[in-house]
Amino acid sequence: MSVQKALMFLSTMRRDAAMRSALLARQDALNLDDLCAMARAQGLVFNTTDLQTAFRTDWALRALRRQRGTAPTPN
């Protein structure tokens, strides 16, 4: 359940321009605990392990989508 919330947070970060700007402004000083705190402020509670799992899952899903988009269509 917490990994799901972390995935929701990552999705929100991609869509929300203000949040992305805030992250870019602080990128050198951010760590996983900071990201978890930002999510908590939005009502999404998860820990750093959940966030790391969500990052890995998100990247794996992106790779699969990219692969499917470039794979030849079966005849």
DSSP 41-75: HTT----HHHHHHHHHHHHHHHHHHHHHHHSPPP-
- Each domain of the chain, given as residue ranges in start order, spans 2-68
Token pair for 63: 């790779």
Contact 19, 8 (CB under 8 A): no
pLDDT band at 73 (very low <50, low <70, confident <90, very high): low
pLDDT band at 74 (very low <50, low <70, confident <90, very high): low
What is the tens place of the pLDDT at every residue in 3-37? 999 999 999 998 999 988 888 888 788 899 999 99
Q: What is the Cα–Cα distance from 6 to 13, expressed in whole angstroms?
A: 11
